[in-house]
Amino acid sequence: VNAIEHVGDSLAAYVLGALEDDESARVRAHLAGCAACRAEHARMAELPAMLDLIGPDGAPAAAPEHLEGAVLAGFAATRPPARRRRRVWLPGRAALVGALAGAAATVAVLAVAGVFEAAGRPCGWRARTGRARRPVPR
Amino acid sequence: VEGLKLREIAQRLGLPLGTVKSRVHYAAQGLRLALEELEVLS
């Protein structure tokens, strides 16, 4: 039964030690025989240490003073500035990419329209939208 | 992290055990995703 009933939705509670002993034993037994759940467990396993960095009031707990400097130095050492992009939360990111693509397309259209206009040819796009065209200096 | 069991959390909050379990699950998933996005976790 354990081999079929995966434990993915119990793993967070498992790594946090929030499961009852029998439930915890069931998860452990399943992990021994299920590579997929083991992989998921490995991804969850770092979270408790992260959460332990937070104090009860939400502020960072007493971290060693040198920690921040060490972390920042580590970032500086391992990440070239060009790669240093702060990525946005996933659902928002898709929207952002879409918005950027839309903006880029708009800019491209305007640029093309501008080129045609500058070349003295009538710009159909602007004509259709009914916007007043600036007289082309010629 | 106080180290409470799911059952104790459910009692304190007056919520069903399954609700607490799924909230812990989704919270952990969200946190991990956020940390991955920030490249804190790989």
Give the closest of B24, B40, B41 to A13, CB-based. Answer: B24
Chain A residues touching residue B39 (CB < 8 angstroms) = 79, 87
Average the pLDDT over A116-127 and give the result: 51
Predicted confidence at residue A125, as pLDDT, reads 47
Number of other residues whose CB lies within 10 A of the CB of residue A34 = 19
pLDDT for residue A32 is more than 90: yes
Q: What is the DSSP string of B13-29?
A: HT--HHHHHHHHHHHHH
pLDDT digits (tens, 9 = 90+) for A74-110: 777 776 656 556 665 566 667 777 777 777 777 776 6
Compute the Cα dihedral for A119, A120, A124, A126 and give only its sign.
positive
| CB within 8 Å: B40 and A50 | yes
User: Would you say residue B8 has pLDDT above 90?
Assistant: yes
Question: Does B40 contact chain A (CB < 8 Å)?
Answer: yes
pLDDT at position A130 is 47
Query: Which of B2, B4, B5 is best to mutate for the A interface (most A CBs within 10 A)?
Result: B5
Q: How far is A107 from chain B (nearest CA, A)?
A: 29
Average pLDDT, chain A: 73
Tokens of A61: 């707990």
Establish if B41 touches chain A: CB-CB under 8 angstroms: yes
Work out the burial of residue B13: count CB atoms within 10 Å of its CB; fewer than 13 is exposed, 13-18 middle, 19 or more buried. exposed
Q: What is the ipTM, given to two decimal places?
A: 0.89
At residue A19 the predicted structure's pLDDT band, cuts being 50, 70 and 90, is very high
pLDDT of residue A3: 43
pLDDT of amino acid B24: 93
Q: What is the pLDDT of residue B16?
A: 96
Q: What is the dihedral of CA A120, A121, A125, A129, to 10 degrees?
A: 60
A13–B1 CB contact, under 8 Å: no
User: Taking a contact as any Cβ pair under 8 Å apart, which residues of chain B between 9 and 28 contact chain A?
Assistant: 9, 21-22, 24-25, 27-28
The confidence score (pLDDT) of residue A1 equals 46
pTM of the model: 0.53
Helix (H, G, I), strand (E, B) or coil at A75: helix
User: Mind giving me the DSSP string for A76-90?
Assistant: HHH--GGG---PPPH
What is the spatial distance between Cα B10 and Cα B18, in angstroms, rounded to a whole number? 9
pLDDT tier, B35 (very low <50, low <70, confident <90, very high otherwise): confident
Q: Would you mind telling me the total number of residues written for chain B in this entry? A: 42
